[in-house]
Structure 1
Amino acid sequence: MKYVILGGVAAGTKAAAKLKRCDRTADVKVYTKGTDISYAGCGLPYYIGGDIPNREGLIVNTPKRYSGLTGAEVFTGFEATGIDSASKTVSLKNGSGEAFTEAYDKLIIATGAVPFVPYVEGRELPGVFCVRTPDDAVATRAYIDEHKCQKAVVCGAGFIGLEVAENLMAQGLQVTVIDAAPQIMPNAFDEEMADYAKKQLRLAGMRILTSTSLTGIEGNGKAKKVVTDNGAFDADMVILAIGVRPATGFLADSGLEMFKGTILVDEHLQTNLPDIYAVGDCAMVKNAITGQGQWSAMGSTANLAARAMAKSINGEGTGYKGCLGTGVVRLLPTLNAGRTGLTEVQAKAAGYASTSVICVLDDKAHYYPDASSFIIKLTAETTTGKLLGLQVFGAGAVDKMTDIAVVGISQGMGLSDFDTLDFAYAPPFSTAIHPFVTACYILENKLDGLFDTISPSDYTKGAAKGYTVLDVQPAASIPNARWIDLSTVNGPLDGLDKDAKLLLVCAKGKRGYFLQNRLKAFGYTNTKVLEGGAFFNEVKVPRDGRKLSAEEIKRVKGLGCLQDKRYGDVFNVRVITRNGKLTTDEQIKIAEAAEKFGSGEITMTTRLTLEIQGVNYDKLEPLFAFLKEAGLETGGTGSKVRPVVSCKGTTCQYGLIDTFALSEKLHELYYTGYHDVSLPHKFKIAVGGCPNNCVKPDLNDLGIIGQRQPEIDLSKCKGCKICKVQNSCPIKVAELTDGKLRIAQEKCNHCGRCIEQCPFGAVTEAMTGYKVYIGGRWGKKVAEGRALGRLFTSEEEVIGVVERAILFFRDEGISGERFADTIARLGFDYVQDKLLNSKLDKKQILEKNVVGGATC
């Protein structure tokens, strides 16, 4: 028997090898267009990313080695141009264009598929790649290295496109993925599952644009921009992963029965023409569930079908029963995806009355170090519970979950058939009840009416409108929802009628189910659990509270209450500290206040104040009274002097001054003492103990920095070859010049670390004191303050110049401008003269009417 096989990658080589094993006397010839055979097409993205280090790793077999192993003859570089079924010949041509014919007893067409390249301008520019052969992958990686590519656009958000995108990101590129379909991985996952994956990819830094079609590629000599109907995107390289088409163009006049370019075959992979078979990406097989035709351009399908075909030709086996569309893909290092069978949409399109559920389950014992979650969607026939399909995401072994479903679907198993299956368990591998079994339990409960839910898809379409959302998580986490402590629910819920429409939302779904079970027992008739919980869904609850006026919001803001924009009538309340200092009793009081009036959480601000989180408007006044009992007050907002901050001062090895003592004096004098004095804008003060600038005094409206000025006695300088003073200078402005030590005074920051370092006493302290900076600020318009032109030698002098700066700003500042703006408008020299030399009429300035412009 003479077999001629057209195509030498997955299906062709598998068929040839099995034919020779079934009949060693068979004459098997494989003709393939490329130079490589039996290569790892699915590994190409991982060569691009570097997981597969060299091209050889992609080649499963060379023609010579393959022929030696199997006995089949392989001819590379030969392209089939036609077939004649009547004469049982194939027309071929070699790389030189020489044509000839080859006779066969049986012909196997395994020509596979070719990348679909849309007819757009620029598609042939250097830097535009498909990913179909090892040469494609090698050229892509080489181009990245040679051209130092920074940005890539991947056209196509199917498995291959997303695999390539992930591997390009692994190479450090910024990646944009576009797809004309309204979702990623179309036809493989239902929309809500695809949207979850898209969100995770975006969080990882991948830009994804769906419903976006490629219209052109631009570049002068090489690709530089991708043009779409949704805008243009810069690209140093472009990957076309839009899809593949069956490589069957040469068969147009062959008489073969075809559909959309695929060759129609029966379960033995036989075509409508005698002794001609087709297998792999060029053939249309059947779906094992529906029996309908399905194109399965997968390496797994090609290998399985080719082996079954070879056995059938030799009178063995029962043929190929069909595919399930099984696939698995790594989307990110921490996100894998798997699927098999029918999606919910496909099941309904095939005429099944089906039910689906989405659940989030532990992938192994939750206490095990690398435990994560599976996000599972199961679909089953509603009346029988027969398993129809699975979709799964997770950081772990999604292939294992998928393979269990493959077996179940292939054997016609129902959900309950899995209930007591003895799957493997140990904490590093699984949960005591396997997560697949748990998913079946959940869908069984839904089918039996024990688990009433709203699906994520229906939730996004507004199915929860009119429902009261109950947050069933261990701690309150959903803004505007009513939190329910599950452990305390032993009867009806206060304020909720038993016929109220209640949506129960927990982290993943389990606690919602537990609460629903209890509430049903207490007579509640209209509860729903949101499938997948807050883990899978973006839960938003409309605010039902009163709408506060702008004037009232401004008033309470002046009391240190910052509105949480998510709620409208909930605030974070700032509690003033003494430069971060609090007594033990005060700490306890604030913690009690957070529990009693807020969410129980406290945060620290950059200004060394504490914020009690989540205080409802109605609880603000009781909170103020509660704090006042301990001598605590709120504030730190508005167009006023803000709480003073400082560094560690003398508790730091470099500290030159007691910053705590000075900052507390300034705080008492000008935060507390000037508390009712409005300024044109907020006025921030910071005290630093040395020029290390840890609290960034020069980025405050007024900053104070401790100073020690060195003085050199040249008569004591010995010009040592290794100068300890020079070595001790952190900013390297001390150096030996002509055998004598010099310190560049205009560059010296007066940190004092050089003082007394000289063993001969050449460097001593000339003066200690304070440098004062004015006009600094953080935020939208960062400005570095400038130092006043004198060194202040006492706290009294510093306290005095601080007050003059505040008064000057109140007197000559304009409403809405920061002190930096005032200085820029009037000029630094003018302001410095006013602060150092002029007398300000304090009484008159404080009597002025000043309107502040601070918004926070």
Structure 2
Amino acid sequence: MKVIIIGATHAGTAAIKSITKRHSDVEVDVYEKNDNVSFLSCGIALTVQGEVKNIKDLFYSSPEILKEAGANIHMNHEVTHVDTTNKTVDILNLVTNETATESYDKLVATTGSWPVVPPIPGIDDKRIVLSKNYTHAQELIRHANDSSIKRVVIIGGGYIGTELVEAFNVKGCEVTLIDNQPTVLNRYFDDEFTKNVAHLFTSHGIAVETGKTVQAFESTDEAIIIKTDDGDFSADLVVMSVGFRPTTQLFQDQLEMTQNGALIVNDYMQTSDPDVFAAGDSVAVHYNPTGENAYIPLATNAVRQGTLIGYNLVSPTIKYMGTQSTSGLKLYDLNMASSGLTASHAKELGLDANSLTMTDNFRPEFMSSTEPVLMTITWEKGTQRILGVQLQSKYDISQSANTASVAIQNRMTLTDLAFVDMLFQPWFDRPFNYLNLLAQAALDKDEN
């Protein structure tokens, strides 16, 4: 059997390792248009601010390692056309300009995503940059260490944008965050959480400009002028971070897609063509809180899906469990994590849901120190099925988001979480863990 894999970032690397490990008799050819593989873009901001000392440490694999695993790795090779009917791909060698056509028995589409670049007048200025891959990372680090870069504007207040806000602020730059949404981190957290982030940023001298839409960029020798519907801003550097789109043009009119171009896959990572598998940022995921497909480009989804392709290559073996979009973020000394739906997102989707927000300490007050935890739980009315949990504290609450993820995936109810067995030891916890207390408070509200 011959397998062709297109792309070798998170999903592609996972698929390569999984296929070669489980199918030693399979010929695996990998075509990657870049000169590197397996770059952890989530570490870009950490490198910009100096937490990660060497950017090359963000590579967790290499062409050599993947070759040793048994794959034929073709770097700087771009797949320019796919014919799923005749099971062929056309390939361009970006170094020699030579072309070739190769056939396959199974195809793996791990083509990833690319940052959204809105058609804003003036956006082609070279001082407007993106944050996605190794090339972008090198450019951002160079700018962060350039003493002439004093004013930085970040456009987009999601995870990547907010992390870069902190990174450039730590480097001593004058930073402005612009977002067209009413709050930062709008999709991940409800208002009480995002207000804390905005206050945290302003306390560090960062200008938070939410509810403003960028309409044009004007270039001068001295600066880039960012023109919005509510005032202008000047910058030496602009970072665009307004989301991602799946790169699936190769499969247009051949495979089923969502409206935004994400490939639709079944539980075994097969597309509408059973001989074409797909994983990672190029696909729509099964979102457990709603039971529907959603576009959630996270590395965690990518590595799980890519690994499953190795299990399911020959026959359906292990189902994809779906995702809760569980994620975490640390800004300065504030830890944030969430799993599932926020209350506001549930309302947008028209779900019959309720929510409760409360604050409690993570361990007993008689200890020499403790920290309050701000938390929200969202649930489905009637069934009391948990739809989402959000957490925020100076204390590390990240593993509690993982606990919430398991609860949501397994369709647990408020009662389940309220009384599930958790440890008690004053160094770590209270007789009832704060997630127990959150669910118990939600039960009280639901009964009234």
Normalising by structure 1, what TM-score?
0.50
Task: Give 1:325 shift.
Answer: 1.7
Task: Give 1:340 shift.
Answer: 1.0
Q: Quote the residue 1:327 is aligned against.
A: 327
Moved more, 348-357 or 71-80: 348-357
Counterpart residue type for residue 371 of structure 2: S
Q: Quote the residue 2:136 is aligned against.
A: 136
CA distance in structure 2 between the aligned counterparts of 1:430 and 1:31, rounded to whole angstroms? 50
Task: Give 1:110 shift.
Answer: 0.6
CA distance in structure 2 between the aligned counterparts of 1:140 and 1:222, rounded to whole angstroms? 19
CA contact (8 A) 2:255 2:271 kept: no
User: Cα 1:367–1:227, aligned 2, differ >3 Å: closer, same or farther?
Assistant: farther
CA distance in structure 2 between the aligned counterparts of 1:420 and 1:256, rounded to whole angstroms? 43
- 1:285-364 to structure 2, matched below 5 A, reads 285-315=285-315, 317-330=317-330, 332-350=331-349, 352-364=351-363
Superposed CA deviations along residues 763-822 of structure 1, whole A, max 9, x for unmatched, are: xxxxxxxxxxxxxxxxxxxxxxxxxxxxxxxxxxxxxxxxxxxxxxxxxxxxxxxxxxxx
CA distance in structure 1 between the aligned counterparts of 2:307 and 2:367, rounded to whole angstroms? 41
Q: Quote the residue 1:79 is aligned against.
A: 78
Q: Quote the residue 1:17 is aligned against.
A: 17
Task: Give 1:244 shift.
Answer: 1.1
CA distance in structure 2 between the aligned counterparts of 1:308 and 1:114, rounded to whole angstroms? 23
Counterpart residue type for residue 356 of structure 1: S
What SS class does the counterpart of residue 281 from structure 1 fall into?
Answer: helix
CA contact (8 A) 2:286 2:293 kept: yes
Task: Give 1:99 shift.
Answer: 2.1
Superposed CA deviations along residues 587-627 of structure 1, whole A, max 9, x for unmatched, are: xxxxxxxxxxxxxxxxxxxxxxxxxxxxxxxxxxxxxxxxx
Task: Give 1:256 shift.
Answer: 4.3
What SS class does the counterpart of residue 107 from structure 2 fall into?
Answer: strand
Task: Give 1:329 shift.
Answer: 1.2
CA distance in structure 2 between the aligned counterparts of 1:198 and 1:30, rounded to whole angstroms? 44
Counterpart residue type for residue 25 of structure 2: T
CA distance in structure 1 between the aligned counterparts of 2:24 and 2:249, rounded to whole angstroms? 33
CA distance in structure 2 between the aligned counterparts of 1:177 and 1:257, rounded to whole angstroms? 33
What SS class does the counterpart of residue 265 from structure 1 fall into?
Answer: coil
Superposed CA deviations along residues 632-674 of structure 1, whole A, max 9, x for unmatched, are: xxxxxxxxxxxxxxxxxxxxxxxxxxxxxxxxxxxxxxxxxxx
Is the aligned partner of 1:95 residue 2:94?
yes
Higher strand share: 2
CA contact (8 A) 2:418 2:438 kept: no
Q: Quote the residue 1:396 is aligned against.
A: 395
What SS class does the counterpart of residue 263 from structure 2 fall into?
Answer: strand
CA distance in structure 1 between the aligned counterparts of 2:362 and 2:38, rounded to whole angstroms? 35
CA contact (8 A) 1:29 1:72 kept: yes
CA contact (8 A) 2:46 2:52 kept: yes
Q: Quote the residue 1:228 is aligned against.
A: 228
Superposed CA deviations along residues 500-528 of structure 1, whole A, max 9, x for unmatched, are: xxxxxxxxxxxxxxxxxxxxxxxxxxxxx
Q: Quote the residue 1:58 is aligned against.
A: 58
CA distance in structure 2 between the aligned counterparts of 1:316 and 1:370, rounded to whole angstroms? 52
CA distance in structure 2 between the aligned counterparts of 1:257 and 1:238, rounded to whole angstroms? 32
CA distance in structure 2 between the aligned counterparts of 1:223 and 1:267, rounded to whole angstroms? 50
CA distance in structure 2 between the aligned counterparts of 1:243 and 1:267, rounded to whole angstroms? 26
Task: Give 1:9 shift.
Answer: 0.2
CA contact (8 A) 2:91 2:99 kept: yes
User: Cα 1:272–1:117, aligned 2, differ >3 Å: closer, same or farther?
Assistant: same
What SS class does the counterpart of residue 67 from structure 1 fall into?
Answer: helix
Counterpart residue type for residue 6 of structure 2: L
Q: Quote the residue 1:435 is aligned against.
A: 434
Q: Quote the residue 1:193 is aligned against.
A: 193
User: Cα 1:349–1:154, aligned 2, differ >3 Å: closer, same or farther?
Assistant: closer
Structure whose CA Rg is larger = 1
CA distance in structure 2 between the aligned counterparts of 1:317 and 1:3, rounded to whole angstroms? 18
Gaps of 5+ in 2: none
Task: Give 1:147 shift.
Answer: 3.8
Task: Give 1:367 shift.
Answer: 4.8
What SS class does the counterpart of residue 376 from structure 2 fall into?
Answer: strand
Q: Quote the residue 2:37 is aligned against.
A: 37
Is the aligned partner of 1:273 residue 2:280?
no
CA distance in structure 2 between the aligned counterparts of 1:342 and 1:59, rounded to whole angstroms? 32
Counterpart residue type for residue 332 of structure 2: P
Q: Quote the residue 1:366 is aligned against.
A: 365
User: Cα 1:37–1:233, aligned 2, differ >3 Å: closer, same or farther?
Assistant: same
Q: Quote the residue 2:7 is aligned against.
A: 7
CA distance in structure 2 between the aligned counterparts of 1:62 and 1:235, rounded to whole angstroms? 37
CA contact (8 A) 1:5 1:30 kept: yes
CA distance in structure 2 between the aligned counterparts of 1:248 and 1:15, rounded to whole angstroms? 18
CA contact (8 A) 1:266 1:285 kept: no
Paired residues, number = 447
What SS class does the counterpart of residue 360 from structure 2 fall into?
Answer: strand
Q: Kindly, what percent of the aligned residue pairs are identical? A: 26
Q: Quote the residue 1:406 is aligned against.
A: 405
Task: Give 1:378 shift.
Answer: 0.3
- 1:709-748 to structure 2, matched below 5 A, reads none
Superposed CA deviations along residues 86-119 of structure 1, whole A, max 9, x for unmatched, are: 2101112121432221211100111100111222
Q: Quote the residue 2:164 is aligned against.
A: 164
Q: Quote the residue 1:418 is aligned against.
A: 417
Q: Quote the residue 1:175 is aligned against.
A: 175
Task: Give 1:190 shift.
Answer: 2.7
CA distance in structure 2 between the aligned counterparts of 1:46 and 1:350, rounded to whole angstroms? 34
Superposed CA deviations along residues 345-397 of structure 1, whole A, max 9, x for unmatched, are: 33345554322100011123335455222110101222232211111111122
Gaps of 5+ in 1: 450-856
Q: Quote the residue 1:210 is aligned against.
A: 210
CA contact (8 A) 2:212 2:230 kept: yes
Counterpart residue type for residue 374 of structure 1: V
Counterpart residue type for residue 414 of structure 2: L
User: Cα 1:428–1:168, aligned 2, differ >3 Å: closer, same or farther?
Assistant: farther
What SS class does the counterpart of residue 262 from structure 1 fall into?
Answer: coil
Task: Give 1:316 shift.
Answer: 5.8
CA contact (8 A) 2:19 2:309 kept: no
What SS class does the counterpart of residue 263 from structure 1 fall into?
Answer: coil
